[in-house]
């Protein structure tokens, strides 16, 4: 039974183990890109914020008198830390679970490998011993790979996820999940504990990496046997693909990488086994010292083996200057010769099928030579130590890149033609055989004398020879028996060559040509037979470029420079991208084999192939990004021309002014710029659809993605740089908005101008990406009001392919980005302590009656940041109001409990004295005076009043933002506005009908997207009322209405009425504006059941009636109300106006006759 037979348990178990190993490494590489930023503690701000909740293994150390209990107590004793810890858990628990799962499967892999070796030794797998497995071709490959993958994943784990970060991740997950739910956490912790690894150029400390490998603790005898097989055998049978002796180290490169890793499991060999290490170096590392130990992750063994005496001694023989310098010169000097030959092969019409059939061996030789030189130069000129590089001649990396590109193109064409030959191999062979038979039959007829051909005489011997001997043998050739047919074809060719010297044939040119053509067809048949699948296997093996997975990124700038010079270089790069797709073969080959017999591995196959394919596609995008970058560079010049120099042509101009408006030189320059853009577009569109791994690349899609990426980058940069207000002046605010308007309008206009040249919908791209930028920054800014830490990568508006930049916040500013800066700047200029809002004017004024923010400001705002920017600001203020309301209610709840509940007792006592609210209490005026006297200190009350006014201020701004959106929507898209208005009214009618008759009028389904989508449209067209919104929900707070009434009494006393402004003015310069306070009060009351609002109004009405009755009792002829009543009535009038309360509703609390006299 074959080792990999589906019923062979030993083979299948080992195969699945290797497949798992490759999948685990893919997961390491995948997750290493998603380490949560706080765990890095890279900045002082992060260290200050998270150092108490992100802990390493010191958390488990009880020897220093601390331990878990100590750290948990520190967190629990601090409310801010407890809150932050909870937010942190909610944000990262899923990601922490995935990291822990990764650490656990790495540990499990080592346990399973150890158990497998133990089972084989113990005879648990019938007819399978370790010696037998190592003698089997598949067995020795898989066993070596299993050991090698165990070590490779440890090395990569240290490189990609540093030890201190592993500890922080594991401890965080342990704290949040609890040890009882993590059975193997102790063993996992021992494995992932930090090691002595330090990233290059630093040298790792301690006995690294053997100390790390020792944590896996595999049987040393078994490991030695595997290493012995890697030392002595051609495990992967690659030497036939590299027949030249000088290429032996390349042929054994795969197992050399495996050997490098496996030797760390038995470090004694590296330290003391001089003979063994001499054998290893002479066989595997005679001319190469840069080793790609897994998919392009390289090491310099002259550095890594420096502290191992035996290994260092063995390497000393091959790493001396006298050996390295001529070796490097040899490789570098052959580049021009190889490039010359490749250029010849790449000439149009050279690599025909006939040429390939005739020169198959020679073509493979040049292909092999090109790839060998490419591998050596790529690895050793990019990754060698400074000492080794000093022995090298000066090597031009552009020639190495050219070698890569030309070799890739040559491989692509050769492979394409060979595949075509193999696809029609039998048909071609049969066609050639038929031609041979026809010609031999014609020759037999010629020598029979019955067919005249240039006076050829009859020759019975030749006639019989052709007709009875040669003809039947050719006809009897069988394609399926290629070995016999090949031998007979050679014999027939020799026979035809032998008959040519006969006088009757030699002297007759037509007959001679017939025989030559027949021999040609026989030769073609022989060459077709020689082109087998082995040729494709050789091409695949030789052209492997997995070693350059990381290094190739260093060639991106040079690739982009070539594209800048000639956009059609993309065609050459296409074959380079396809060559890089060979990277997928190494991790996927075992997973693919395992998935044939194990359905569970099929998911790993999809996951791993997608991961590596996306990496390759990402590389392609990065290289080709230069095209949209160049487009936008040219676009910036076009913007400058159109914005600053080109004059706008009027509808009618005088004949004499035509030349002035024509501006022919400028328009010629503009045309040249547009032509350059068109050239770059042609360059990328010339790239055909290409399958990279498992992902199909469409050139038009690549172009659009690149354009979007640069567009997003530039718009985000403009918004971040311009919307920065170092001087808190109104002039600075307006000038910045004006500047942004000018820049974005010019950008948008020029982008629309170019859309026909780049085959994209410019306005559509602009709208989509501008909206995404605004929404992303709004969400990021609003995250400070939420209980979750904002992760940009997880935001629904973020896109990995078209990322939105996240510039750091401005120092000394409480905002995360430009949305926060703009919103807070507007709040600053409408500050409730410095300005007065005049509703009739729709503007804010200073206390000196100078206009600050008006409708013009909001016009400029929407012209600069657009509808999406205004909607974003509206959302920002909405979240801010929510946070403000939550804090306000929380403060009130706490205020009732301090000082033994003094405030609660005062409010409760007052409530008892004024109940029932429909009647008037005895000694009312003294009652209100006593209430204010017992009020908390100014330090307690003022923050409450200011918070209410701030909420009102934000509500006013939201109302103005809605108004400007509504106005613009009516002006620019009246049909849409009217349609939305009608749909909204219809829906509201349906909802009202539901509450009137629920049985017959069902409420819209939760799954119905209409309400959600319509809401978004209404918000962007200003058809929403911020004042009526419910921001927070919760139970009714006891005595809240009484507390708000008391605050109203205290605040209203500070206002005076200005008849000429029809508004209330603060009586002191440091007092708050009345309108925001009124709106804030209404907003707060509107969050609860209507009974709370009614109770509040009853208290105000009782207050007004009490004072009114007192005045009437003193003098029935009194012509005016006291100032307390007038101020309160004016407050109530504003309250009803902003709250849209009916006069009939107010009459329930304040009698109509009072209003009549007031008005």
Instruction: For residue range 776-823, list pLDDT tens digits in order.
Output: 999 988 888 876 555 555 678 888 888 999 888 887 778 889 999 999
First to last CA, the chain: 106
pLDDT band at 170 (very low <50, low <70, confident <90, very high): very high
Neighbouring CB atoms inside 10 A of 896's CB total 21
Does residue 254 carry a pLDDT above 70?
yes
Q: Helix or strand or coil: residue 853?
A: strand
Does residue 506 carry a pLDDT above 80?
no
Buried/exposed code over 371-382 (b: 16+ C-beta within 10 A; e: otherwise): bbbbbbbbbbbb
DSSP state of 454: S
| Rounded (10°) angle between helices 79-121 and 137-160 | 160
Neighbouring CB atoms inside 10 A of 1078's CB total 28
| Rounded (10°) angle between helices 1040-1052 and 1090-1114 | 50
Question: Could you give the CA distance from residue 175 to residue 55 in angstroms, rounded to a whole number?
Answer: 10
**pLDDT of amino acid 1060:** 45
Range among 408-417, 658-667, 739-748 rated most confident: 408-417
* Peptide linkage before 150 cis (omega within 30 of 0): no
**pLDDT of amino acid 1120:** 65
pLDDT band at 463 (very low <50, low <70, confident <90, very high): confident
**pLDDT of amino acid 789:** 57
Closest by CA to 149, choosing from 252, 253, 250, 262, is 262
What percent of the chain clears pLDDT 90, i.e. is strictly above it? Answer: 38
DSSP state of 1056: E
> Distances from the Cα of 763 to the Cαs of 752, 770, 872, 1018, in angstroms?
6, 10, 20, 22
CA 548 to chain centre: 23
**Which residues lie closer than 8 Å to 41 by C-beta, 6 or more apart?**
47, 50, 51, 54
380-438: pLDDT as tens digits: 988 888 888 888 888 888 999 999 999 999 999 999 999 988 888 888 888 888 888 88
**Total residue length of the chain:** 1159
For residues 640 and 820, the model is more confident at: 820
Pair 583, 549: CB distance under 8 Å? yes
Question: Could you give the CA distance from residue 154 to residue 25 in angstroms, rounded to a whole number?
Answer: 9
Pair 821, 724: CB distance under 8 Å? yes
Neighbouring CB atoms inside 10 A of 793's CB total 13
189-204: pLDDT as tens digits: 999 999 988 888 778 7
**Which residues lie closer than 8 Å to 955 by C-beta, 6 or more apart?**
877, 881, 1026, 1027, 1076, 1079, 1080, 1083
For residues 958 and 914, the model is more confident at: 958
**Which residues lie closer than 8 Å to 333 by C-beta, 6 or more apart?**
none
Range among 388-397, 654-663, 683-692 rated most confident: 388-397
* Peptide linkage before 916 cis (omega within 30 of 0): yes
> By CB neighbour count within 10 A (0-12 exposed, 13-18 middle, 19+ buried), where does 353 fall?
middle
pLDDT, average across residues 98-127: 92
**Bridge-partner residues for 1066, per DSSP?**
1055
Is the torsion defined by CA of 35, 36, 37, 40 positive or negative? negative
**Bridge-partner residues for 298, per DSSP?**
292
**pLDDT of amino acid 15:** 94
For residues 708 and 635, the model is more confident at: 708
Mean pLDDT (the chain, rounded): 86
857-873: pLDDT as tens digits: 999 999 999 999 999 99
Pair 923, 910: CB distance under 8 Å? no
Pair 1010, 991: CB distance under 8 Å? no
Neighbouring CB atoms inside 10 A of 165's CB total 21
Pair 866, 969: CB distance under 8 Å? no
1100-1156: pLDDT as tens digits: 888 888 888 776 666 555 556 777 788 888 888 889 989 888 888 888 888 877 777
Question: Could you give the CA distance from residue 238 to residue 1008 in angstroms, rounded to a whole number?
Answer: 62
Closest by CA to 16, choosing from 688, 601, 786, 747, is 601
Question: Could you give the CA distance from residue 1124 to residue 190 in angstroms, rounded to a whole number?
Answer: 75
Question: Could you give the CA distance from residue 419 to residue 413 in angstroms, rounded to a whole number?
Answer: 10
User: What is the side-by-side order of every strand in the sheet holding 843-846?
Assistant: 835-838, 843-846, 851-853
Pair 1008, 1063: CB distance under 8 Å? no
**Bridge-partner residues for 170, per DSSP?**
none
Could you give the residue ranges of the DSSP H alpha helices within 686-817?
699-722, 730-758, 762-782
Question: Could you give the CA distance from residue 65 to residue 130 in angstroms, rounded to a whole number?
Answer: 50
3-state helix, strand, coil in the chain (%, to 5): 70, 5, 25
For the record, the structure tokens of 202 come out as 């630093």
**pLDDT of amino acid 905:** 87
Does residue 1084 carry a pLDDT above 50?
yes
Does residue 454 carry a pLDDT above 80?
no
Neighbouring CB atoms inside 10 A of 390's CB total 11
> Distances from the Cα of 961 to the Cαs of 823, 1014, 1077, in angstroms?
12, 19, 19
Pair 466, 440: CB distance under 8 Å? yes
> Distances from the Cα of 927 to the Cαs of 272, 829, 1042, 1101, in angstroms?
98, 40, 13, 15
**pLDDT of amino acid 557:** 92
For the record, the structure tokens of 243 come out as 């027949």
CA dihedral 781, 784, 786, 788 (to 10 degrees): 100
Question: Could you give the CA distance from residue 700 to residue 336 in angstroms, rounded to a whole number?
Answer: 36
Does residue 891 carry a pLDDT above 70?
yes
Question: Could you give the CA distance from residue 270 to residue 284 in angstroms, rounded to a whole number?
Answer: 15
Does residue 7 carry a pLDDT above 90?
no
**pLDDT of amino acid 1059:** 47
Question: Could you give the CA distance from residue 142 to residue 230 in angstroms, rounded to a whole number?
Answer: 12
Question: Could you give the CA distance from residue 542 to residue 523 in angstroms, rounded to a whole number?
Answer: 27
**pLDDT of amino acid 449:** 67
275-315: pLDDT as tens digits: 999 999 999 999 999 999 998 899 999 999 999 999 999 99
Does residue 137 carry a pLDDT above 60?
yes
Half-sphere exposure of 396 (CA within 13 A, CB side): 7
What DSSP letter does each residue of 311-345 carry, written as one string? Answer: HHHHHHTTSSHHHHHHHHHHHHHTHHHHHHHHHHH
What DSSP letter does each residue of 761-796 carry, written as one string? Answer: -HHHHHHHHHHHHHHHHHHHHHGGGSSS---GGGST
Pair 116, 11: CB distance under 8 Å? no
367-376: pLDDT as tens digits: 999 999 999 9
Half-sphere exposure of 938 (CA within 13 A, CB side): 1
Question: Could you give the CA distance from residue 209 to residue 264 in angstroms, rounded to a whole number?
Answer: 7
Pair 16, 594: CB distance under 8 Å? yes
CA dihedral 674, 680, 686, 691 (to 10 degrees): -130
**pLDDT of amino acid 256:** 94
Question: Could you give the CA distance from residue 1092 to residue 1098 in angstroms, rounded to a whole number?
Answer: 10
CA 207 to chain centre: 37
pLDDT, average across residues 670-688: 79
């Amino acid at each position: 039974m074959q080792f990999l037979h589906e019923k062979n348990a030993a083979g299948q178990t080992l195969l699945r183990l290797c497949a798992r190993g490759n999948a685990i490494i893919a997961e390491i590489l995948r997750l290493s890109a998603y380490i949560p930023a706080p765990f890095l503690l890279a900045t002082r701000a992060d260290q200050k914020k998270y150092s108490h909740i992100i802990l390493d293994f010191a958390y488990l150390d009880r020897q220093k008198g601390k331990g878990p209990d100590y750290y948990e107590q520190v967190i629990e004793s601090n409310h801010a830390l407890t809150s932050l810890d909870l937010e942190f858990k909610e944000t990262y628990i899923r990601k922490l679970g995935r990291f822990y799962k990764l650490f656990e499967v790495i540990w499990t892999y080592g346990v399973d490998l150890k158990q497998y070796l133990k089972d084989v030794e113990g005879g648990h797998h019938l007819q399978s011993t370790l010696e037998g497995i190592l003698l089997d071709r598949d067995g020795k490959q898989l066993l070596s790979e299993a050991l090698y993958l165990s070590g490779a994943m440890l090395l990569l784990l240290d490189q990609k996820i540093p030890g201190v970060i592993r500890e922080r991740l594991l401890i965080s997950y342990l704290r949040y999940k609890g040890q009882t739910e993590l059975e193997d956490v102790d063993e996992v912790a021992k494995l992932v504990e930090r090691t002595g690894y330090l990233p290059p150029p630093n040298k790792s400390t301690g006995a690294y990496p053997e100390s790390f490998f020792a944590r896996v603790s595999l049987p040393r005898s078994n490991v030695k046997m595997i290493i012995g097989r890697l030392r002595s055998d051609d495990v992967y049978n690659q030497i036939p693909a590299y027949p030249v002796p000088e290429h032996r180290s390349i042929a054994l490169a795969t197992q050399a990488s495996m050997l490098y890793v496996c030797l760390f499991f038995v470090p004694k060999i590296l330290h003391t086994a001089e003979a063994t290490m001499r054998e290893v170096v002479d066989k595997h590392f005679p001319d190469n010292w840069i080793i790609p130990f897994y998919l392009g992750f390289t090491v310099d063994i002259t550095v890594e083996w420096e502290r191992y005496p035996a290994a260092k001694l063995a390497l000393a023989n091959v790493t001396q200057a006298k050996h390295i310098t001529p070796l490097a010169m040899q490789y570098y000097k052959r580049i021009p010769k190889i490039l010359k030959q490749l250029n010849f092969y790449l000439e149009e019409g050279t690599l025909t099928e006939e040429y390939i059939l005739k020169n198959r061996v020679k073509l493979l030789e040049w292909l092999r030579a090109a790839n060998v030189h490419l591998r050596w130069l790529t690895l050793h000129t990019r990754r060698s130590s400074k000492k080794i590089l000093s022995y090298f001649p000066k090597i031009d990396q552009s020639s190495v890149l050219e070698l890569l590109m030309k070799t890739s193109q040559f491989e692509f064409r050769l492979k394409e033609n060979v595949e075509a030959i193999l696809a029609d191999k039998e048909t071609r062979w049969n066609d050639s055989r038929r031609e041979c038979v026809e010609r031999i039959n014609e020759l037999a007829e010629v020598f029979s004398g019955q067919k005249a051909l240039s006076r050829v005489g009859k020759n019975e011997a030749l006639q019989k020879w052709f007709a009875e001997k040669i003809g039947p043998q050719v006809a009897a050739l069988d394609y399926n028996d290629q070995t016999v047919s090949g031998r007979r074809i050679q014999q027939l060719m020799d026979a035809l060559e032998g008959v040519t010297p006969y006088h009757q044939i030699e002297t007759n040119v037509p007959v001679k040509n017939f025989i030559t053509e027949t021999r040609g067809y026989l030769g073609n048949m022989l060459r077709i037979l020689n082109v087998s699948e082995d040729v494709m296997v050789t091409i695949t093996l030789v052209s492997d470029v997995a070693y350059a997975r990381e290094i190739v990124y260093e060639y991106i700038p040079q690739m982009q420079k070539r594209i800048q010079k000639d956009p059609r270089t993309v065609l050459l790069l296409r074959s380079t991208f396809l060559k890089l797709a060979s990277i997928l073969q190494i991790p996927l080959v075992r997973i693919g084999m395992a998935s044939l017999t194990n359905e569970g591995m099929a998911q790993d196959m999809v996951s791993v192939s997608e991961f590596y394919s996306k990496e390759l596609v990402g590389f392609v995008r990065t290289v080709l990004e230069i095209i949209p970058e160049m487009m936008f560079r040219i676009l910036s010049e076009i913007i400058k021309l159109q914005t600053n120099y080109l004059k706008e042509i009027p509808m009618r101009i005088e004949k004499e002014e035509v030349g002035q408006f024509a501006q022919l030189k400028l328009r010629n320059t503009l045309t040249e710029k547009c032509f350059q853009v068109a050239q770059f577009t042609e360059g990328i569109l010339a790239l055909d659809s290409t399958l990279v791994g498992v992902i199909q690349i469409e050139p038009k899609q690549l172009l659009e993605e690149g354009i979007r990426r640069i567009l997003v980058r530039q718009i985000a940069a403009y918004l971040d740089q311009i919307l920065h207000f170092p001087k808190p002046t109104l002039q600075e605010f307006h000038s910045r908005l004006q500047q942004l308007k000018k820049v974005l309008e010019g950008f948008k206009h020029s982008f629309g101008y170019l859309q026909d040249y780049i085959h994209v919908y410019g306005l559509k791209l602009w709208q989509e990406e501008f909206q995404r930028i605004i929404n992303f920054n709004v969400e990021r800014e609003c995250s400070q009001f939420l209980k979750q830490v904002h992760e940009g990568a997880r935001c629904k508006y973020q896109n990995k392919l078209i990322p939105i930049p996240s510039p750091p916040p401005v120092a000394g500013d409480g905002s995360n980005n430009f949305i926060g800066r703009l919103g807070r700047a507007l709040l600053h200029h409408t500050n409730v302590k410095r300005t007065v809002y005049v509703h009739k004017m729709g503007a804010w004024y200073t206390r000196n009656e100078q206009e600050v923010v008006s409708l013009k400001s909001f016009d400029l705002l929407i012209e600069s940041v657009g509808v999406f920017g205004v909607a974003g600001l509206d959302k920002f203020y909405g979240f801010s109001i929510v946070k403000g309301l939550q804090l306000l209610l929380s403060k009130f709840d706490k205020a009732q409990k301090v000082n033994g509940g003094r405030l609660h007792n005062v409010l409760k006592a007052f409530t008892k004295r004024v109940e029932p609210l429909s009647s008037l209490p005895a000694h009312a005026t003294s009652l209100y005076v006593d209430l204010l006297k017992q009020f908390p200190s100014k330090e307690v009350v003022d923050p409450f009043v200011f918070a209410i006014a701030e909420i009102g201020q934000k509500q006013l701004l939201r109302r103005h933002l809605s108004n400007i959106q509504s106005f613009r929507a009516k002006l620019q898209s009246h049909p849409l506005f009217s349609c939305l208005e009608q749909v909204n009214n219809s829906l509201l009618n349906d909802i009202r009908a539901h509450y009137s008759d629920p049985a017959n009028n069902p409420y819209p389904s939760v799954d119905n997207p209409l309400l959600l989508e319509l809401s978004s449209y209404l918000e962007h067209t200003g058809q929403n009322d911020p004042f009526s919104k419910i921001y927070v929900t919760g139970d009714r707070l006891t005595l809240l209405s009484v507390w708000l009434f008391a605050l109203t009494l205290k605040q209203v006393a500070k206002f005076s009425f200005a008849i000429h402004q029809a508004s209330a003015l603060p009586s002191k310069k440091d007092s708050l504006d009345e309108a925001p306070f009124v709106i804030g009060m209404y907003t707060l009351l509107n969050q609860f059941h209507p009974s709370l609002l009614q109770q509040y109004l009853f208290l105000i009405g009782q207050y007004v009636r009490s004072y009114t009755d007192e005045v009437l009792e003193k003098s029935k002829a009194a012509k005016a109300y006291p100032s307390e009543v007038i101020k309160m009535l004016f407050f109530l009038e504003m309250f009803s106006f902003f709250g849209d309360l009916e006069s009939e509703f107010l009459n329930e609390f304040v009698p109509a006759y009072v209003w009549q006299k007031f008005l």
